[in-house]
Amino acid sequence: MGFDTETAVAWIDTAATVVKADEARLTALDAAIGDGDHGANLVRGLTAAVAGIAEKEPSTPGEVLVVAGRGIVAKTGGASGPLYGSALRRAGKALGDTTDADAVQLGAALEAMLTAIVELGSAAEGDKTMVDALGPAVRAFNDLAADGASLPAAALAAADAAEAGLAATIPLQARKGRASYLGPRSVGHEDPGAASTALLLRALAEVTA
Amino acid sequence: MKKLINSPDTVVTDALRGLAAAHPSLEVDVENRVISLAGGPRQGKVGLVSGGGSGHEPLHGGYVGYGMLDAAAPGEVYTSPVPDQILLATQRADAGAGVLHIVKNYTGDVLNFRMAAELAEDEDIRVVSVVTNDDAAVEDSTYTAGRRGVGGTVFVEKIAGAAAEGGADLDAVAAVATRVNERTRSFAIALHAGTVPAAGKPGFALEENEVELGVGIHGEPGRERGSMAPMNELIAYALDVIHADLPVSGNLLVMLNGQGATPLIELYGAFAEATAWIEGHGATVARSLVGNYITSLDQSGFSVTLTQLDDELLRLWDAPVSTPALRWGR
């Protein structure tokens, strides 16, 4: 089984559930180096994404992600709304009309997600942002997909790489986003954006397993 | 905090209701927070949309009208508008020839406008964005998103608006907007901090004998704290910074702008000094604005903005305009 409509819907549902469960942790991370609204914002955005899917009943995995992205853009606010919203929309468009994406197709969609965030946020790896989790995750996924690995195996490697990337943000000094205003004081904390990205990729591994 | 408000939560809404009551030429969508031209844009004209946090009035809603903006999206005080709001403004400004987004260079504004532009493209509205970054105070660095967009935005909106009104296509309007931005520099000095209603206290603290040199329009830090000095020295400091960045020459468009709590009598005095300084450096004040055009709530102080005009920009500046805050020739 690949990444079909049902799996795509399950991904967004699971993402909403795990982010909701971890809302307090995300908020605490953001309060330490940002403005403390990341958890609540993302819960609101993903709730809107789930509601949008229920209302529009999209028929392909690509449409599911575009609709979810639209919901996130409308309701999240802050910088993470446009970033995650654009990322999901671009991933959905990259999937095209396929009804059941294989590992290579999903890898290309994740790559589109990364490109959207890098472009929109003008961030690179090492800036202490969501890119520090997503970049390694997309590489890990696509390395395995290119070697012919199964989609679940690639998704699992991506989730692991995202969590490793998140851990690697702790010693970094933020160069983008609100945390960058703190300069050296941003060192010693996990980046909240990288933390939520790691949750999204773990959710993907769970629903594709 | 003593302010003429009902509550910090309703400041933006109350102001929008007032704008609607005062200016029947505008359609003010208070619920969705979009200000547009009553009756919509003229078919076939390039639409102009700007927006950003509230608290900088008359920017941007006061510049909606003939020869300037077609729509504006005001956010909460000092907070970017959201993509859906900007999308709605873009739809209302669209008259079939595409829409120019004029965006001040702040991370939140740039992100939300880019997202809105993507959504507009999905609706088959072509959008081109011009990001203004005329503040000479803070240099590019790893830790900032480049220079800030400030007073030059008023000139970009006026001149690009005239180009659109004259029938230029989207790429040509964007090119004019870009050219104005490139030929413009600003610098601001604050004497007292302003108070964001929701915060309830001044955004930063200045001692009685201190000024913030290069302050931003949200009270952001500038280059350094300086000592309070006579007006002629403060004006010379500001113009020296601009001159070092983009040497003054030729015909200049000059704005001597108040930050919200500086009396006009002081602004005129400052403008006299600025004019003398500019003429002393061999340039000419060809056109000018003196008053409150891009404010920072009740922050006191001034900003000065200079644009090097050429014949085309001068002609577009002189073209008729009819908005709540700028009006001539019509």
Q: Partners of A204 in the beta sheet?
A: none
Q: Walk along chain B (330 residues) in steps of 10 and give the mean pLDDT of each run.
A: 93 98 98 96 97 97 98 93 95 98 92 93 96 88 70 98 98 98 98 92 92 93 93 98 97 98 98 98 98 98 98 98 97
Number of structural domains in chain A = 1
| Record: contact A81-B83, CB cut-off 8 A | yes
Distance, in Å, from the CA atom of A206 to the CA atom of B47, rounded to the nearest integer, reads 47
Specify the pLDDT at position A86.
94
Determine the residue type at A89: R
What's the CA gap between B328 and B137, in Å, rounded?
Answer: 31
Instruction: Name the DSSP letter for residue A100.
Output: E
pLDDT at B274: 98
- What pLDDT score was predicted for residue A167? 97
Among the CATH numbers 2.40.40.20, 3.30.1180.20, 3.90.550.50, 3.10.20.30, which is that of B184-308? 3.30.1180.20
Residue A91 has pLDDT above 70, yes or no: yes
Cross-strand partners of B72: B35, B50
Q: How confident is the model at residue A180 (pLDDT cuts 50, 70, 90)?
A: confident
Residues A87 and A115 sit within 8 Å (Cβ to Cβ)? no
Tokens encoding A207: 């629903």
Tell me which residue range forms the domain holding A198: 3-208
Domain boundaries, chain B: 12-180, 184-308
Catalytic annotation, pick one of B23, B192, B218, B243: B218
Q: Tell me how long chain A is.
A: 209
B12-180 belongs to which CATH class?
A: alpha beta
Distance CA(B15)–CA(B74), nearest Å, equals 11
Confidence label for A178 from pLDDT (cuts 50, 70 and 90)? confident
At B182, which helix (H) or strand (E)? Answer: helix B170-182
Strands (E), B55-183: 71-77, 99-104, 127-132
Q: Which two tokens stand for residue A130?
A: 């969501």
A108-122 pLDDT, tens per residue?
A: 999 999 999 999 888
Q: Round to whole Å and give the CA distance between A78 and B271.
A: 39
Residue B121 has a CB neighbour count (10 Å cut-off) of 11
Residue of B111, B143, B145 with shortest CB distance to A120 = B111
Q: If pLDDT is split at 50, 70 and 90, which confidence band does A12 have?
A: very high
Query: Residue A72 has which token pair?
Result: 């996130």
Nearest CA in chain B to A77: B82
Between A77 and B127, name the one with better pLDDT: B127
Query: Angle, to 10 degrees, between the axis of helix A61-75 and the axis of helix A80-95?
Result: 170
Contacts of B78 in chain A (CB under 8 A): none
Contacts of B145 in chain A (CB under 8 A): 122
Q: For the complex shown, is ipTM > 0.90?
A: no
Identify which of A15, A132, A134 has the alpha carbon closest to the alpha carbon of residue A68: A15
- Whichever domain contains A135, its CATH number is 1.25.40.340
The reply to whether B243 belongs to the active site is: no
Contact B252, B284 (CB under 8 A): yes
Q: Residue A113 region, left (φ>0) first, then alpha (ψ -120 to 50), else beta?
A: alpha
The contact set of B with A (CB < 8 A) is 82-84, 107-108, 111-112, 114-115, 118-119, 142-143, 145
Q: pLDDT tens for residues A131-163? A: 999 999 999 999 999 999 999 999 999 999 999
Inter-residue contact B51 to B93 (CB < 8 Å): no
Q: Between chains, do A120 and B107 touch, taking CB under 8 Å as contact?
A: no
User: CA B69, CA B129: separation in Å to the nearest integer?
Assistant: 14
